[in-house]
Amino acid sequence: MALEAGSDAPDFELLATPDQRVSLSEFHGPVVLIFYPADWSPVCSDELSMFSAAHKLFQARGAQLLGISVDGPWCHEVFKEQRNVAFPLLADCHPKGEVAKTYGVYRDDDGTSERALFVIDSNGKIVWSEVSPVGVNPGADGALRAVEALS
């Protein structure tokens, strides 16, 4: 079961590029975690493109977007370049799905994560979360409203 609002957001450190690690605790404003099953799937591609288009709206409110999937950093690099993704994609690949498991969104049946969004405030608390069916793009509206409510 996915972590809910009011829970502490588990810290993590994941590869953002093949040679650069990023941790949740590095960010001091609101953070939006975008868990998605895999690069290159049609719904994931649409979702990440939509969040990339909305990136400046989140940035204007002091929020950092972070995409997370079980794909590796090399796959993320090519995907970001091909799809013009404007925010970091983090590789939850070794051990596979460890961060997704701590957030309660790992899918044991196929080894990917749920399509899930978490908004984390500057105190490291989850203030909003949503898990959508894997085949449904949840859009950015709910996450953006949650970020706006923090200001």
Task: Catalogue the active-site residues.
Answer: 44
d(CA 146, CA 106): 23
CB atoms within 10 A of CB 42: 9
What secondary structure does DSSP assign to 71-101, as a single string? S-HHHHHHHHHHHT--S-EEE-BTTBTHHHH
CB atoms within 10 A of CB 130: 15
- The DSSP call for residue 65 is E
